[in-house]
A = this chain, B = another copy of it.
């Protein structure tokens, strides 16, 4: 009942996304030339961050909780930092990457499902039928997600994700999605880990969609990835143990679900949380509305030239209530345009 309610809350976003898809042109091209990735082990921490308030606040917090003489010292075991993924570690525009994966997956599976040509909602996706896509029901969306994410073993799904990521390109930057990650955030992850923090992803995205690549891209191992999931079932197939992915929602790791997921997986309250949308608000509240020493940061997408500018009215990554609460609580807000010298690794400073 609860899950259904939570899930249905997300459906509106998903529908909006599917609709937005049809407006995705193919005119997007690579805008910036590749450059050397700066070393994250530079003596000066956070080299891609401007020497402004945000960088200063981060360094001050880390100094405070890692200095044994400080009254705010936090033992290494308790230095848990949680990061949203979409829009916080990698780009979420023009669509969540997993939604593009889902659409591509419907198209890739279509030859094996000739009946989809005649059956909605698959017909509409295959034909990019804007009018029909604008009327998708919750049931349609669940059907699409389950048709593309369930019915195989966990290991088969991992291979599907890896194969897709190896060839798919971001429509604007014409690069693999795993290169469309924020250089300043890679530096921040590295800086926190160098200071004894354990870094976790806590994303509304699918846990099994992220795990195949987060260690290589972010240095975050599978066991430190928390996300939404469908149910799985243990089976012996010809004597070989497998987990079959079932067409049934298990957990939605978004909004109120994020603190629940954090508690379920980590069992400790984080002392630092990083997000970019209203979907992260409860995670930041869970982390920072306490008596302890903690740090919360919102990334505000303000750079239409190098990335995108969006906040209160965006259907993807809306930042509205969160922006108000950040101001009221004195949380750090990153102004991407001002605070980040470089956004993507492939962009010049």
Residues of A participating in the B interface, judged by any CB pair closer than 8 Å: 2, 77, 154, 198, 207-208, 211, 215, 221-223, 225, 229, 231-234, 236, 239-241, 243, 248, 250, 256-260, 263-268, 282, 285-286, 289-290
Contacts and interface: CB of A to CB of B under 8 A. Distances in A.
Given A207-B264, A222-B266, A239-B289, 11 more contacts: A211-B267, A223-B266, A223-B268, A231-B260, A232-B260, A232-B263, A233-B260, A234-B258, A234-B282, A234-B286, A241-B282
A263 B223 contact: no
B223 A285 contact: no
A268 B225 CA distance: 12
Contact of A289 (B211, B222, B223, B241): B241
A144 to B, nearest CB: 22
B265 A265 contact: yes
Given A77-B221, A263-B154, A241 B207 contact: no
Copies of this protein in the assembly total 2
A225 B263 CA distance: 11
Contacts of A268: 222-223
A211 B240 CA distance: 32
A77 B198 CA distance: 15
Contacts of A259: 234, 241, 243
Nearest to A265: B265
A260 B211 CA distance: 16
Which residue, A77, A211, A264, has most C-beta atoms of chain B within 10 A?
Answer: A264
